[in-house]
A and B are shown apart, each in its own frame.
Chain A
Amino acid sequence: MTLEIALQSVVSGLMFGGVIGLVAVGVSLIWGIMDLINFAYGEYLMWSMYLTFFLWAGLGIEPILTVPITAVVLFGAGVLTYRSVIRPVLRGPIFAQILSTFGLLVLLRYTAWLLFRPDDRQAQSALATSVVVLGGLRVSGGELVAFAGSLVATTALFAFLAYTKTGKALRALAQDREAALALGIEPDRLYALAWGLSTAAAGVAGALVSSFMYVNPLVGDVFLLPAFAAVALGGFGNVYGAVAGGLVIGVVNVTGGTLTMPKVKLALVYLVFVGVLFMRPKGLWGR
């Protein structure tokens, strides 16, 4: 193992981790604000990838340029999901909430199965196959853009949460629901917004990964499982930690796989995940 290979694996891991981080942010946002796990999150990502694929196949739009479209469509899908499925079960027991998102997973996955069949499809993009070489380290154009896009999207979300009045209200709601209500914050509209933002992140991620990953009805799992690990690693409900968690997961995945055997790379991810939970149950950056 040369130093060059080790460094390359870290760079590859960071690229992959950036995308995992963006997916993790979407999961973490809902988790932090509503104390709700969205098990169907990977399915929103999958639907976004299909949207990108069909925009490319039908209209010839370069996958990366579909980002605004998938973001807006998925935002709408999130708001709709909140109003039609989530709001009615919010007052129910926690199990009703968990089961409702699990039901969504089944519904979204098998609707896609019915409509699109289980074929693997992939948009072809010149950008994705281009290779960028920097100081002997190599990344593909598609990965680089996905990584940059992830950072831009998460930074925009941070800025929104930190500096806008609505963002602050969302954070207030996350910190103490009763106090926020007492201050006149209207939770219903904000919850809908949180769902929209969360699924919009899946929309952005879906378009970004489409240039280098094929889509089929099961593809959500490929991203969601590492993203859950990233969320737990970064601290439950901590949006900032989720990105960091994603980067750690990406590096553990690729560098760990390269240093040991690639077959065990997912096991390594979950080993780190269990280890962190054991020593720091709130996650590395949990509060």
Chain B
Amino acid sequence: MNRRLLVALAIVALAVISGTVLAQPKEVVIGVIVPLTGPAPGTGQDCKLGAEFGADLINGGVKAEGSGLLGAGWNGIPSLGGAKLKLVFADSQGSPEVGRAEAERLITTVKPSGTMGAWHSGVTVAIAPVIERYRIPHTTISTATELTQRGFQYLFRVGVNAHQGGEVLFQYLDWIGQQGKKWNKLGQLHEDTAAGVNFANAVEEMAKARGISVALRVPYSREQANMDSEILKLKSAGIDVLVQTSYTSDGIIIRKTMRKLDYAPALIFSQGGFDDDPKFYEAVGDDANFGSKRQLWSPALSSTKPILKAVNDEFKRRNGRDINDNSVRYITMIQVLADAMNRAKSVESQAIQKALVATDLKAEQVLLVHGVKFDAKHDNVLGKAMVAQIQERQPKIVFPPEAAVAKPVWPMPPWSTR
């Protein structure tokens, strides 16, 4: 073998080696479908801020070393040669049709390695078949139980489903009972798309299993100017534990109508939605107080997670607001996808899907109250919630007692005293 040939071979070998290095992507695109306009723009904005903050954490822009959080100290995805996450947002406008079209557009034009969204359960139900058809690993926080019942391979629910979210209500009611506080009738008021219907069904099932009957169920359609008959119906039935699922605009009309018609149940419990949206607080002011909600995040849990306060402070410095249930879940979804990509050592969709199936993130590694681990249907088996009551326009954890930062005000004070 002459020297020229040796040199030539060496050059080829070098080229192959450096080629594989070069073949590693410089960035990984993640498509984020959220309602940036439409009936829940404040909500979509929180989701966007959360996703951006999460991506910056992975990309090394948020200093959180030593926190144990997944992605802290990273500078891009380690196993992909430090490839940075790049987010591309699409606006669902809160509409299933628009969401589906946007998902398809996103997938075919920017070719994301993973997608997430769409917040509204009804929209996620519409886009799930699309992401499944294109085999794009997708994470969601939509609660509609039906999402994970259809055998989708590429859809993963990072947040709680309707049952996990409802579970805490009954634990709370038991605990309230042990405190010697009374209530009589459980009723439900909910918007009639996937999120509202699924949650109401779940609550009804769980109530039945505990021998509690749902005295009244009032579904409503969102687009209307007058909700007096809904509230009068609940008032005349004497419902004093009210489970409510509403989006922002309808949630505002309902709360104002409650005040007008002097209907103050002992407990209003929601699965989030209207009462996560800053616009709700702008519109109803102090009338937002004393409503309760399922809560997945609390910066005040710092005794068990000291890093939470520091991360929240940084988030607040950047965005002028605290992390809330929406932003925290989008931060976590970014962590989950980044973790899967890192373990997959690949941006190939089947490899990421396999890695997602094997996800095992402890509560300490994410900002949520719970960790992330998927069952066969891709529901998060670790999903659990707390109860927060809105006090001074802020969600304060009131249950479980070990996480509580405030005492629940029970019953909700009558409107005449407020």
| Interface residue ranges, A against B (CB under 8 Å) | 1-2, 5, 8-9, 12-13, 16, 19, 117-120, 122, 124, 128-129, 131, 138-140, 209, 212-214, 216, 218-219, 221-223, 253-258, 261-263, 265
- Bound CA span A128–B287, Å: 14
Which residues in A have their C-beta under 8 angstroms from that of B94? 118
28 of the cross-chain contacts (CB-CB < 8 Å) are A2-B236, A5-B232, A5-B235, A8-B261, A12-B232, A118-B37, A119-B37, A119-B38, A119-B41, A120-B39, A120-B41, A120-B248, A124-B283, A128-B256, A129-B256, A129-B284, A129-B287, A138-B261, A212-B225, A216-B38, A216-B39, A216-B249, A222-B225, A254-B229, A256-B229, A257-B230, A258-B228, A258-B232
Contact call A12/B256, Cβ cutoff below 8 A:
no
Interface contact tally, CB-CB below 8 A? 106
Contact call B224/A222, Cβ cutoff below 8 A:
yes
Which residues in A have their C-beta under 8 angstroms from that of B228? 8-9, 12-13, 16, 254, 258
Report if A253-B249 is in contact (Cβ < 8 Å); known contacts: A120-B39, A129-B259, A263-B220. no
> Which one of A1, A122, A254, A255 contacts B252 once the chains associate, using CB atoms below 8 Å?
A122
The smallest beta-carbon distance between A19 and chain B, in angstroms, is: 8
> Which one of A129, A209, A265 contacts B229 once the chains associate, using CB atoms below 8 Å?
A265
Contact call B229/A262, Cβ cutoff below 8 A:
yes
- Bound CA span A254–B261, Å: 13
Report if A257-B233 is in contact (Cβ < 8 Å); known contacts: A138-B261, A138-B262, A212-B256. yes
Contact call A262/B261, Cβ cutoff below 8 A:
no
The smallest beta-carbon distance between A120 and chain B, in angstroms, is: 4
- Bound CA span A5–B256, Å: 18
> Which residues from 273 to 309 on chain B have a C-beta closer than 8 Å to any C-beta of chain A?
282-284, 287
- Bound CA span A261–B229, Å: 8
- Is B402 on the interface with A (CB-CB < 8 A)? no
Report if A140-B218 is in contact (Cβ < 8 Å); known contacts: A5-B236, A258-B236. no
Contact call B249/A262, Cβ cutoff below 8 A:
no
Contact call A257/B229, Cβ cutoff below 8 A:
yes
Report if A222-B229 is in contact (Cβ < 8 Å); known contacts: A140-B256, A262-B218. no
Tell me how many residues of B have a C-beta within 8 Å of chain A.
37
| Interface residue ranges, B against A (CB under 8 Å) | 37-39, 41, 93-95, 192, 218-221, 223-230, 232-233, 235-236, 248-249, 252-253, 256, 259-262, 282-284, 287
Which residues in A have their C-beta under 8 angstroms from that of B226? 12, 16, 253-254
Report if A253-B229 is in contact (Cβ < 8 Å); known contacts: A119-B38, A129-B256, A262-B220. yes
Closest to A124 in B: B283
Contact call B259/A131, Cβ cutoff below 8 A:
yes
Which residues in B have their C-beta under 8 angstroms from that of A253? 226, 229
> Which one of B219, B221, B229, B260 contacts A131 once the chains associate, using CB atoms below 8 Å?
B260
Report if A218-B223 is in contact (Cβ < 8 Å); known contacts: A122-B252, A124-B282, A131-B259. yes
Which residues in A have their C-beta under 8 angstroms from that of B253? 212-214
Contact call B236/A1, Cβ cutoff below 8 A:
yes
Contact call A9/B229, Cβ cutoff below 8 A:
yes
Report if A209-B223 is in contact (Cβ < 8 Å); known contacts: A8-B261, A118-B37, A261-B233. no
